[in-house]
Amino acid sequence: MRRAERELIARFGEHDVLLSTKDGRLVCIAAGGERERAILDAFVSWMHDSGSGYVGARRVAVGLEHPGAGGVVSSYEEALGALELADRLELPGPVLRSAELLVFPVLVCDRAAMADLVRTVLGPLTRTRGGAGPLLETLTAWAAAGYVNAEVARRLNIGVRTLSYRLERIKVLTG
């Protein structure tokens, strides 16, 4: 903990940052704002830097920003929830941001909510000329190809410009 604290102070100076341990975890709490987000980002990257001494850290979780002392507790609980959820679902990646995982509890627990989410997000695609089929096929191929546009275009046997048009259309329709 002291090494992490020295590292953060050396880079950012004395600030409203609290480092502590809880239940065998190293916890970094920073006030809201751009500078504090930079501090948290530095903490996350330091935890995975080979020179930090924490290479064994399997995961780092970041909770949402909430106001007040109660917000610190909420953020901590969200980070713990993100760690638990990632373990249960075997999600890859060393950094978990609870804001990016908010949809998973809905998908895991509530079938009706999942159906509603799919209808809400993908429903607008059905109102396109030619139907949703080509756009859904594009999304599926895009994910399967690791979001590499040239590979997706090759798999779908379409031009990269056509793919770009479809992706833009999906973005506009789904928000």
Range of the domain at 46: 2-107
Say yes or no: 91 and 144 in one domain.
Answer: no
| The pLDDT value given to residue 140 | 92
Query: How many independent structural domains does the chain possess?
Result: 2
Residue 18 near residue 28 (C-beta atoms within 8 A):
yes
Q: Tell me: the pLDDT tens digits for 34-68?
A: 777 787 788 878 776 655 555 445 678 888 787 88
Return the higher-pLDDT residue of 32 and 75: 75
Say yes or no: 48 and 102 in one domain.
Answer: yes
Q: How far apart are CA 19 and CA 67, in angstroms?
A: 18
Domain boundary, last residue among 107, 139, 160:
107
Say yes or no: 97 and 166 in one domain.
Answer: no
Rounded to 5 degrees, what angle do the CA atoms 61, 65, 67 make? 140
pTM, to two decimals: 0.53
Domain boundary, last residue among 60, 86, 107:
107
Say yes or no: 142 and 89 in one domain.
Answer: no
Say yes or no: 96 and 130 in one domain.
Answer: no
| The pLDDT value given to residue 55 | 47
Q: Tell me: the pLDDT tens digits for 154-164?
A: 999 999 999 99
Q: What is the mean pLDDT of residues 23-30?
A: 78
Give the pLDDT band (50/70/90) at residue 115. confident
Domain boundary, last residue among 61, 88, 107:
107
Say yes or no: 103 and 125 in one domain.
Answer: no
The yes-or-no verdict on residue 116 having pLDDT over 90 is no
Backbone φ/ψ region at 47: left (φ over 0), alpha (ψ -120 to 50), beta: alpha
